[in-house]
Amino acid sequence: MPGGNDTLVPLVWQPVPGTGSAQIYPLIRKIDTISSNSYLIVTPDVLILIDPGGLIEQAEQLSRVIGECRRERDRPVFVFLTHAHIDHFIGVVGVPAFACPETAVFAVQEQGAEALERADAKLTQAEMLGKSLAPMKIGLPLFPRAWEVNCNIPVSMAFPNGATITITYDRSGTAGGLPHGRLEFGSGPALDIYHTPGHSPDSVSLRMGGLFFIGDLLFAANPGIAGMCGWDQRALVQSLDRMLTRIDCGGITTVCPGHGRVVTAPDAARMLSAVVTDARALSDIAELNRGRAEQAALFAEDCMEQVNELFTIMAGRLHYVSYVMDELGESDIADRMGALIPGDTIDELLEAFTAFAEEHHQGKHVSIHLALKAAQVITKLGRAFRKEELVHIIDPTLVDRAGRLLSDYTTMFRGFNPPCERSGCSLVPVIEAIVMGLSVSSCSDEDMLSSADDDAAFLQVLLSRIGTRPLLEDVTFSFAAEDRSLPVSIDLDHFTDLVTYILEDLVGTGSDKVTLQVRREDRHARITLFGNTIPGASETPRKRSFLAGLCTRAGGILTCPEDAGMRRFVITLELE
Amino acid sequence: MDITTTDRDSATIVSIAGRVDTATAPVLEQAINKEIEIGHRHVLLDFTRVSYISSGGLRVLLATAKKLKTPGDKFAICGLSSEVHKILKLAGFTSIFSIYSTEGEALAGW
């Protein structure tokens, strides 16, 4: 093989290891949700195309290569789909080489074949990705319902493309327990197919010689993929376990996924083991349908506006600490502080999301793509976010909220509800503790004095003193609770975040007098926060939506009544 | 982002319109530096038409504050939208330079 013994070189004909006469032409793409990899195999008897992909240009490119092969020596063409998701096949629509059974016979596991013949927009993910789909004729349904009845009996079939093939289904031990079929096209190498449901009910894996084509199994537990229509956790775990056994049985050198680079069999086994672990943890996820993709996209935009604000503030704080340290002649420390948050990288990530969201609103991207973009940005932000170090320099409330926001989005995007752990508590002391945390520096004069003999400790305290600015330190704050006995059930972290966001919003937009009132109203506790702000200040619809969602996760209901000259937020909690 | 510079009452007023982000922050920094280099050391940034500031923009503001700290220098910002005001306030910048509601108030305050 040109790329070595266990890899493939894209867009080059090379031998299929272990076959003697078959050659493969791989078309390997960077990973995306638009189109899959394609693999074209030529044997003395047949041309086999595995996954023509989701792009018309890709299908046309493959059509040209197939045309060259057929001019050299005419052979029937079979198109195998590892599964019937549109990114694996929709590119063929309108390309003459794939238009009729006389030119190419499509082979798909029976449930996928039926989905394609009835143009099922859900199972094919056409609905999710905003694509239209016309019914397709599938000439060779794989693993038909009766396959177990005819187990080990070779069946010959003739096709409009001139081919006659023999198919033998079995449940052989060498297949690792996977339902297995062997397709013989003539005297050349056979194609083994394995039913590997889980990512979708119709997922199959194919093997010729040392190459194993496994579709999307490597990604089947990923956020944004797990939970899609047809996804089945139990079936996936079983398929993955059996796949691992099959790889372990030997004979496979290279694993060819539906997206991204090919991998060696040992690497694939390691990766599949990790997928099994992830898949086992996904027993309670919600179905990822269009509605949930839209919900995820909305949550993504709400979260990203807050993420943008929090990261800009945190980066600003570090710039400030860096500025003060520079003033004190400590340029080394100033540089170190400046590097704790890679501001430019973070700005670029956030701006890329904003631009993508604008394109989404113009109809250029569907909801799932926006949700995926947010997940991608959040993952990168998570890597750039050195929480453990930052929490000792700038306000922990900023750092903790940023961490929780990233985590809430990731959790929701993976198909779970963001954690909401309500417990009973007395409301007034909780609010007093939140207010205290926002009024007093986490680093006291006593801390400064006691660290004076130790350079490292003193530096830490000094940085924290500069980087921490209690939100309410230069604000006239009044707190009134008519009744101290208000037992409620709340998620403490989310409630603390909610009150902090609201107070931050009031102080940040110019309130120098802020009032927080708590009172009992029938079976409810009502918390009202208000303050005077600079003219024109109001929360954006997205901010309002974000705070309302956060309040729900905290266990309450938020309203923002109109009030001339004042900004007012009311949180209502049910009394226990 | 558009930048216009005018001189009034011995102050250089740099008016910015648009977003101060990764792409535009260096342009703003250049425009301010150009004024400082030619000896204009009373600089007022008019942010009335600024809708967004990124951390790169905040860094430009601090860099300017650093350059304009010799006795007699003046540096202030006016016309902040509530969103930008919030970022500057919570980042702690309001203690480094003066913030005014309007250009008139800023020039009167100097």
DSSP structure string for chain B: -EEEEEEETTEEEEEEEEEESTTTHHHHHHHHHHHHHTT--EEEEEEEEEEEE-HHHHHHHHHHHHHS-STT-EEEEE---HHHHHHHHHHTGGGTSEEESSHHHHHHH-
- The interface predicted TM-score of the complex, written ipTM, equals 0.89
pLDDT for A27? 97
Highest mean pLDDT among A46-55, A99-108, A215-224, A316-325: A46-55
> What CATH number does the domain containing B43 carry?
3.30.750.24
Distance of CA A257 to the CA centre of its chain: 18
Identify the pLDDT of residue A419.
Answer: 66
Tell me: pLDDT of A6 over 70. no
What tens digit of pLDDT does each residue of A160-189 get? 988 999 999 987 655 678 899 999 999 899
| Confidence check: pLDDT of A88 > 60 | yes
DSSP E strands in A405-466: the ranges are 422-426
Checking if the pLDDT of A250 tops 80, the result is: yes
Contact criterion met (CB below 8 Å) for A458 and A452: yes
Q: How many angstroms away from the CA of A377 is the closest CA of chain B?
A: 16
Query: Which among A317, A344, A507 has CB closest to B56?
Result: A344
Is this model's pTM higher than 0.95 or not? no
> What is the fold, at CATH topology level, of the domain defined by A420-441+472-576?
Heat Shock Protein 90 (3.30.565)
How crowded is residue A509: how many other Cβ atoms within 10 Å of its Cβ? Answer: 23
CA distance linking residue A192 with residue A178, whole number of Å: 11
**Cα R_g (chain A), whole angstroms:** 30
Q: Of A5, A253, A207, nearest to A14 (Cα)?
A: A5
Type of residue at B66? K
Three-state DSSP at A81 gives coil
Q: What pLDDT is stored for residue A445 in this prediction?
A: 75
Q: With CB atoms and an 8 Å threshold, state whether B82 touches A315.
A: no
Residue A564 has pLDDT above 80, yes or no: no
At position A410, the amino acid (one-letter code) is: T
Q: Do B92 and A469 touch (CB under 8 A)?
A: yes
Q: Which helix (H) or strand (E) holds A403?
A: helix A396-413
Residue with tokens 């520096």: A441
Residue numbers of the domain that contains B74: 2-109
Please judge whether A347 and B91 are an interchain contact, meaning their C-beta atoms are less than 8 angstroms apart. Answer: no
State the average pLDDT over residues A146-172: 87
Partner-chain contact B89 A323, CB within 8 Å = no
Task: Please report which helix (H) or strand (E) contains residue B52, including its range.
Answer: strand B42-53
Q: In this predicted model, what pLDDT tens digit does every residue of A203-222 receive, in sequence order?
A: 999 999 999 999 999 999 98
Domain spans of chain A, in order of start: 14-280, 289-419, 420-441+472-576
CB of A241 closer than 8 Å to CB of A198: no
The 3-class secondary structure across A163-232, one letter per residue, is: CEEEEEEECCHHHCCCCEEEEECCCCCCEEEEECCCCCCCCEEEEECCEEEEECHHHCCCCCCCCECCCC
Cβ-based neighbours of A436, under 8 Å, separated by 6 or more: none
Say which CATH topology domain A14-280 has: Metallo-beta-lactamase; Chain A (3.60.15)
Identity (one letter) of the amino acid at B30?
Q
Beta strands A524-532; A513-521: pairing state:
antiparallel
First to last CA, chain A: 71
At A566, is the pLDDT very low, low, confident or very high (cuts 50, 70, 90)? confident
Please say whether the beta carbons of A491 and A553 come within 8 A.
yes
Contacts of B53 in chain A (CB under 8 A): 312
Nearest CA in chain B to A346: B55
Determine the distance in angstroms separating the CA of B90 from the nearest CA of chain A, rounded to an integer. Answer: 6
Residue B45 predicted with pLDDT over 60? yes
Chain B residues with CB-CB distance to A394 below 8 A? none
Average pLDDT value for residue range B37-47: 96
Cα gap A204→A179, rounded to integer Å: 10
Interval A420-434: pLDDT, tens: 788 999 999 999 999
Tell me which chain B residue has its CA closest to the CA of residue A350: B54
Q: What is the mean pLDDT of residues A333-358?
A: 89
CB of A388 less than 8 A from some CB of B: no
Q: A125-139 b/e with 16+ CB inside 10 Å = b?
A: bbbbbebebeebebb
Give the closest-approach CA distance of A315 to chain B in angstroms. 6
pLDDT tens figures, A432-464: 999 999 998 777 778 877 887 888 888 888 888
- pLDDT, one tens digit per residue, over A494-536 is 999 999 999 999 999 889 999 999 999 999 999 999 998 777 7
* Chain A residue with Cα closest to B95: A320
Chain B nearest C-alpha distance from A343 (Å): 6
Tell me which residue in A316, A347, A537 faces B82 most closely, judged by beta carbons.
Answer: A537
Inter-chain touch A316–B54, beta carbons under 8 Å: no
Q: Do the beta carbons of residue A133 and residue A118 sit within 8 Å?
A: no
Contact A222, A180 (CB under 8 A): no
Residue A118 DSSP label: T
Give the count of beta carbons closer than 10 Å to the beta carbon of residue A123: 22
Domain count, chain B: 1
Share of chain A above pLDDT 90, in %: 63
**Closest residue to B93, CB basis, from A320, A326, A347:** A320
Whether A91 and A112 have beta carbons less than 8 Å apart is answered as: no
pLDDT of res. A418: 67
The reply to whether A278 touches chain B by the CB within 8 Å rule is no
**Measured between CB atoms, does A384 come within 8 Å of chain B?**
no
Question: Binning pLDDT at 50, 70 and 90, where does residue A5 land?
Answer: low
The whole-angstrom separation of Cα A418 and Cα A410 is: 8
Q: What percent of chain A has pLDDT above 70?
A: 98
- Tokens representing A277? 């672990």
Picking from A313, A349, A396, the residue whose alpha carbon sits closest to that of residue B58 is A313
Spatial strand order in the sheet of A47-50: A14-15, A23-27, A38-42, A47-50, A77-80, A105-109, A140-142
